[in-house]
Structure 1
């Protein structure tokens, strides 16, 4: 299993940062996501599902993402997604936004990836933790840079 928990401060109001996590805007921070299609929308958003087309290293991967948890308070937002990649990995990702000041938001990005079945566990053990950490750092920096003053 691979886990992560990273934090970044962003110079923007919480609602502006939260707007990036809408389906139509998420490609701005994750350009490898080529398409996100809404499959099922629920009134409270929890349980909504999306078909994601992801391109990485010249390969196209498709998977279904479920929004497991959604909180939308004035000073705090939370979105937690889960999905299975290539039938071999179960992944969950959580984005928590916390209003620190009027124009400052803390983003806490955490999650985990587990191998499914024997082959998934073998592949996961071969993945580079440092490469995964660099990918996460680049993702957070991309978000931070969208709001540079």
Structure 2
């Protein structure tokens, strides 16, 4: 199983960063997500499901994403999602934003990727922590870049 928990301070207001995690803006921070369609939106958000398609090279994987946790207050924003990818991986990720002040936000990205069958377990061993750390770092960089761009255009 691969586990990550990384954080950084982004010099952008919490609301501008949070806006990037909305359904309308998701592709800005996850450009390989080519479809994100609500299946069922629940009151309070937790339990909502979405059909999501992810393109890697020429291959497109479609899976169902479920919202497992959600918080949206003035000082803290949190989104926890889970999905099964290719019948081989169980993935959960959480995005937490904490307001430091009007122009700074602590961004915490955590999660795990667990192989749920022999193939998934082998593939995770081959991929290793180094590759996973690069994917996590690249995602955090993209969120920060898009947040800075969002602020510049306001």
Q: Same fold (TM over 0.5)?
A: yes
1:106-125 matches, cutoff 5 A: 106-125=106-125
1:13 matches 2:16: no
Report if aligned partners of 1:63, 1:85 keep a CA contact under 8 Å in 2. yes
Q: Give structure 1 stretches of 5+ with no counterpart.
A: none
Aligned counterparts of 2:10 and 2:71: Cα–Cα separation in 1: 19
Secondary structure of the corresponding residue to residue 74 of structure 2: coil
Q: Which residue of 1 aligns with 2:64?
A: 64
Secondary structure of the corresponding residue to residue 79 of structure 2: strand
Under a length normalisation based on structure 2, what TM-score does the superposition of the two structures give?
0.92
Secondary structure of the corresponding residue to residue 120 of structure 1: helix
Report if aligned partners of 2:2, 2:132 keep a CA contact under 8 Å in 1. no
Q: Which residue of 2 aligns with 1:28?
A: 28
Report if aligned partners of 2:33, 2:52 keep a CA contact under 8 Å in 1. yes
Moved more, 33-42 or 6-15: 6-15
Q: How many residues of Structure 1 are paired with residues of Structure 2 in the alignment?
A: 149
Q: Which residue of 1 aligns with 2:88?
A: 88
* 1:118 Cα deviation from its structure 2 partner: 2.1
Aligned counterparts of 2:136 and 2:22: Cα–Cα separation in 1: 19
Aligned counterparts of 2:58 and 2:109: Cα–Cα separation in 1: 26
Root mean square deviation of aligned Cα: 1.2
Aligned counterparts of 2:108 and 2:18: Cα–Cα separation in 1: 12
Moved more, 35-44 or 129-138: 129-138
| Structure with the higher fraction of residues in helix conformation | 2
Under a length normalisation based on structure 1, what TM-score does the superposition of the two structures give?
0.95
Q: Which residue of 2 aligns with 1:145?
A: 145
Report if aligned partners of 2:14, 2:105 keep a CA contact under 8 Å in 1. yes
Report if aligned partners of 1:8, 1:144 keep a CA contact under 8 Å in 2. no
1:40-55 matches, cutoff 5 A: 40-55=40-55
Report if aligned partners of 2:54, 2:62 keep a CA contact under 8 Å in 1. yes
